[in-house]
């Protein structure tokens, strides 16, 4: 199932008492089949299951969102231009990663805090051009940001130089007051102005950049937009997609009052389809790992394929498939599927 279809299904059936569990069961069956196809059945060494690679440009963040599991005391690191080039070189030469559909510019931290963010984006564009020359389909470049640093001049550079295909904004709460309460250090007025400028340019100039928003809706508010502040609704209209979600607990990293039960699922699509490259070259298994618990290798020591196929990563896949999720520190309380 494509990520977009999954988003749509989630939007439609999230919290439905019967259909939601049924969807999850179907997803589990699909994931277990994919596991066999990509890791067990003949020919598996010629194919990779990865469809998304997340790059964490910066491990630090300018905000202190109340619900976020990012450990703000860990060392602050920025990805070097060399780490980025090493990753892109590996992507280029290894055909098994040419089915990667998206490079996501986020994990923990805030991408736009990187001091050389524009240079980093230009390097990615350079590789896109190399790929095109060789008739290779380059992954879509998708950035998710808290928006506070995306002032009009920076937004204009990104748009004018066509550096990304998609930009997502996190606008939690549903009202300016809730937004500032949840997203500590963020201010609604500049956020609204930054998003408004970018979105208006995209719309008026018909630029080929997809926009989306993510809004955490705290209980007991419903997962709808009707009750939201007019400025939230206005921004929502400018997005191509707006995901409304409940809080999750980052695999047990944060305390929630009403914690939904972790799924006993024997499949994990995220594990199959994702890899995350951290600023120092470490690679972790998925974007639920904001604090490097699931590191399975380093790009300076092994190739991307070796990390993908490493015993460390295989252990995650095998344990999930055989119902031993509880034994994996990173996964045991995870609510994703
Ligand atoms: C970890 S942030 C990193 C990207 C960037 N700093 C941002 O805030 O957009 C990625 C996304 O996770 C969401 N998020 C953080 N904590 C969450 C939680 N406990 N439950 C659900 N979503 C959460 C954020 O709102 C954001 O949309
Ligand atoms: S959710 Fe994003 S903006 Fe908020 S603290 Fe976490 S990483 Fe920073």
Which pLDDT score, from 0 to 100, does residue 2 have?
Answer: 56
- For residue 72, the ligand 2 atom closest to its alpha carbon is 5
Position 85 scores a pLDDT of: 98
Side-chain-facing half-sphere of 65: CA atoms under 13 Å = 23
Alpha-carbon distance 216 to 172, whole Å?
5
Query: Is the CB of residue 144 below 6 angstroms from any atom belonging to ligand 1?
Result: yes
111 within ligand 1 shell (Cβ under 6 A): no
Q: Which two tokens stand for residue 4?
A: 């977009």
pLDDT of residue 22: 81
* Distance separating alpha carbons of residues 273 and 321, to the nearest angstrom: 15
Task: Judge contact between 270 and 32, C-beta under 8 A.
Answer: no
Q: How far is the CA of 148 from the centre of ligand 2 (A)?
A: 11
Give the predicted TM-score (pTM) of the model.
0.93
pLDDT of residue 19: 78
Q: How far does the centroid of ligand 2 lie from the alpha carbon of residue 183, in Å?
A: 8
Residue 108 near ligand 1, beta carbon < 6 Å: yes
Residue from 156, 158, 180 nearest 111 by CA: 158
> Where in the chain are the domains?
48-254+266-327
- Read off the tokens for 52: 């998304």
Q: Give Cα 187 to chain centroid, integer Å.
A: 23
Residue bearing the CA closest to ligand 1, atom 2:
108
Of all protein residues, the one whose alpha carbon is nearest to atom 5 of ligand 1 is 145
Rg for the chain, CA atoms, rounded: 20
Which regions in the chain score pLDDT beneath 50? none
Contact 210, 240 (CB under 8 A): yes
Tell me the per-residue pLDDT of 210-250, one tens digit each, with 9 for 90 and over.
999 999 999 999 999 999 999 999 999 999 999 999 998 88
Q: Which fold has domain 48-254+266-327?
A: TIM Barrel (3.20.20)
Structure tokens at 88: 């892109």
User: ω before 220 within 30° of 0 (cis)?
Assistant: yes
What residue's CA is closest to ligand 2, atom 7? Answer: 109
Sheet containing strand 166-170, strands side by side: 241-245, 210-216, 166-170, 140-145, 102-105, 52-55, 274-277, 282-284, 295-298
Q: What span, in angstroms and rounded, lies between the C-alpha atoms of 131 and 127?
A: 6
Reading the block at residue 172, the tokens are 């939690």
Give the pLDDT confidence score for residue 9 in this predicted structure: 64
The protein residue with its alpha carbon nearest to ligand 1, atom 17, reads: 68
Tell how far the Cα of 124 is from the centroid of ligand 1, in angstroms. Answer: 24
Query: Which residue out of 110, 168, 173, 245 has the highest number of ligand 2 atoms within 8 Å of its CB and is therefore the one to mutate?
Result: 110
């Amino acid at each position: 199932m494509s990520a977009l279809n999954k988003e749509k299904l989630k939007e439609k059936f999230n919290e439905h008492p019967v259909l939601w569990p049924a969807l999850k069961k179907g997803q589990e069956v699909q994931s277990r089949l994919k596991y066999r196809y990509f890791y067990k059945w003949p020919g598996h060494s010629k194919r990779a299951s990865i469809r998304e690679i997340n790059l964490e440009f910066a491990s630090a963040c300018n905000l202190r969102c109340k619900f976020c599991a990012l450990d703000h005391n860990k060392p602050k690191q920025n990805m070097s231009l060399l780490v980025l080039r090493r990753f892109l070189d590996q992507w280029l030469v290894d055909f098994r990663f040419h089915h990667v559909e998206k490079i996501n510019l986020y994990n923990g931290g805030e991408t736009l805090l990187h001091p050389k963010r524009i240079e980093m984006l230009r390097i990615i564009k350079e590789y896109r051009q190399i790929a095109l020359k060789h008739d290779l389909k380059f992954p879509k470049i998708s950035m998710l940001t808290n928006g506070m640093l995306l002032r009009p001049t920076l937004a204009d550079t990104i748009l004018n130089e066509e550096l990304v295909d998609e930009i997502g904004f996190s606008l939690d709460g549903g009202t300016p007051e809730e937004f500032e309460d949840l997203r500590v250090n963020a201010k609604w007025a500049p956020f609204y102005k930054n998003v408004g400028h970018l979105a208006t340019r995209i719309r008026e100039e018909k630029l080929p950049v997809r926009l989306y928003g993510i809004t955490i809706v705290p209980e007991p508010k419903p997962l709808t937009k009707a009750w939201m502040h007019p400025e939230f609704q206005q921004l929502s209209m400018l997005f191509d997609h707006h995901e409304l979600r409940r809080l999750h607990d980052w695999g047990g990293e944060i305390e929630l009052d009403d914690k939904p039960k972790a799924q006993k699922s024997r499949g994990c699509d995220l594990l199959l389809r994702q890899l995350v490259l951290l600023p120092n070259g470490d690679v972790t298994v998925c974007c639920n790992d904001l604090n490097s618990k699931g590191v399975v290798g380093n790009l300076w020591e092994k190739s991307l394929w070796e990390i993908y196929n490493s015993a460390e990563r295989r252990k995650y896949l095998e344990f999930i498939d055989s119902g031993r999720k509880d034994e994996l520190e990173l996964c045991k309380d995870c609510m994703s599927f």
